[in-house]
Amino acid sequence: MNKNTISPKELNDLLKEKKSKVLCIDLRTEDEHNFSHIPGTINIPLDQLQNHLSELKGYDKIILQCTSGARSQFACNVLPANIKCHTLSLEGGITKWESDGFNVKYKGKSRISLMRQVFLIAGVFILSGLLFYNITHNVWYLLLPLLVGIGLTFAGITGQCLMSKLLIKMPWNRN
């Protein structure tokens, strides 16, 4: 076991103990956290963690948790430089926590993440354009993969994904 990890059993015992000031942070997205989470955790997605550093001061230990432990292990290596407290990553994430038989709170239904929706639609548009071009030899069908390529390039350069801005307005993505 890594020196900056904590097993699900150790975390469960620590949360029951209540002797020290412990904060358990779920680094997953809001959708992931809303679907299921370890009771007592707060949700601060990994990409927003830097914005909450002042709130993390004053704790003896901060336990970081994600799905498998990869995101929390990454954050565990970064956080100590920014705050003065002991940070630990939940070994195996919520997946191991649940498989070891510890309580998980389910709040909502699962949906495909926004980025996976973007990847799925981009892939369908590219494959459709190429397929229809091969069937009909009409060069206009090549506009589909071209437009998707331009959109993905724009998103990579600017950080603004137009497809995700459209998808977020769809009824299945509204809370």
Q: What is the pLDDT of residues 27-86, one digit of tens each?
A: 988 878 888 889 889 999 888 888 888 888 778 789 999 988 888 988 887 776 667 778
Active site residue 66: yes
Alpha helices, DSSP H only, in the chain?
Answer: 8-17, 30-35, 70-78, 93-99, 114-136, 143-158, 162-167
Of 62, 83, 84, 67, the closest CA to residue 4 belongs to 62
Q: Which CATH superfamily is domain 5-106 in?
A: Rhodanese-like domain (3.40.250.10)
Distance CA 173, CA 169 (A): 7
Catalytic residue among 24, 66, 76, 161, which?
66
Q: What is the pLDDT of residues 90-149, one digit of tens each?
A: 999 999 999 999 888 876 666 677 788 899 999 999 999 999 999 999 999 999 999 999
DSSP string for residues in 12-45 = HHHHHH-SS-EEEEE-S-HHHHHHEE-TT-EE--
How buried is 53 (Cβ within 10 angstroms: 0-12 exposed, 13-18 middle, 19+ buried)?
exposed
